[in-house]
Amino acid sequence: MSEFKTYHPIVNFTYFVFVIGFSCVFLHPVCLCISLVSGFTYSVILKGKKAIKTNLIYMLPMLVAMALINPAFNHEGVTIIEYLPSGNPLTLESIIYGLCAAIMIVSVICHFSCYNEVMTSDKFIYLFGKIIPAMSLIISMTLRFVPKFTSQLKVVANAQKCMGRDVSNGSIIKRAKNGLNILSIMTTWSLENAIETADSMKSRGYGIPGRTAFSIFTFDKRDKKALICILVLGIYTLAGNLMGAIDFSFFPSLKMAEVSVFGISVFVAYLLLCSSPIIIELWEVRKWKA
């Protein structure tokens, strides 16, 4: 059980808004490394060995492939290393940009995997159910759809396999028919599940003005301290970015903001922001061992 998951939903959501938003915007190599390492580490804390396996099997090859593909299509930059057989130049700037872009995408995926573990559907509905009831329900159902669909697909595929309708055996036509049959079953299940969920929420009075709802979430002093720290670190990092302390450009040549005490402090703030859940976990372990 992750300690950060026990914090109030507003704390969890604020953290992920800052971290995922900054991970999509910041292209400074230091910021990218901070985002990737923190996202990978926290995903391991949340999921254990499963996260290590997933990141190494899927994320690492994706990172390498994207880093190699970009220079083949992007030929901007003034530092030419050599010329490709097509006659286009291979530049240092395009290689570094491809690597940084790949790190950015992988780190965002890591943070989103952590988001799905921490920000459950009940937390999301708790935050936005009164503000945008219909939209919050749709978003919650959408976020739950992929894992739930995958789980149900395994059940249906195993049932069809026991009936001799496996998609891995037989002729191509037979396998195609079996695959279409499974797809038809899953489509019907998805529609029925959506209708049942909508009817269930409607019967409970969801979205009716003045409706009250039971909630297990309470905002205490611990949540207040965590939220203040995340807001201070996030706003400070955002201010540093707006002031150009962590600027970095790739084209036409590599150029970054001059190293300064303020710039270093922004990197430290960003590191503390991204590592907040990890710091909370380590602090909790220390408390138990004390």
Amino acid 44: pLDDT? 87
Amino acid 220: pLDDT? 87
Amino acid 139: pLDDT? 64
Alpha helices in the chain (DSSP H): 9-25, 29-47, 49-54, 60-73, 92-118, 121-128, 133-162, 172-203, 221-242, 261-274, 276-289
Beta strands 248-249 and 255-256 are antiparallel
| Amino acid symbol at 208 | I
Whether the Cβ atoms of residue 118 and residue 16 lie closer than 8 Å to each other: yes
C-alpha 226/C-alpha 230 separation (Å) is: 6
b/e map 159-169, b = 16+ CB within 10 Å? ebeeeebbbee
- Token pair, residue 88, equals 């286009």
Whether the Cβ atoms of residue 251 and residue 271 lie closer than 8 Å to each other: no
C-alpha 190/C-alpha 141 separation (Å) is: 11
> Would you give the distance in Å from CA 44 to the centre of its chain?
14
Amino acid 219: pLDDT? 85
Amino acid 217: pLDDT? 78
C-alpha 246/C-alpha 236 separation (Å) is: 12
| Nearest one of 155, 118, 141, 150 to 15, comparing CA atoms | 118
| Amino acid symbol at 106 | V
pLDDT under 70: residue ranges of the chain:
1, 129-146, 201, 204-215, 290
Q: Where are the beta strands (DSSP E) in 137-282?
A: 248-249, 255-256
Which SS3 state, helix, strand or coil, does residue 169 take? coil
Amino acid 184: pLDDT? 83
C-alpha 110/C-alpha 114 separation (Å) is: 6
The DSSP code sequence of 122-168 is: HHHHHHHTTTSHHHHHHHHHHHHHHHHHHHHHHHHHHHHHHTT--SS
C-alpha 98/C-alpha 41 separation (Å) is: 23
| Nearest one of 265, 261, 282, 224 to 38, comparing CA atoms | 282
CB atoms within 10 A of CB 204: 11
Q: Give the pTM.
A: 0.74
Dihedral sign of CA atoms 206, 208, 211, 215 in order? positive
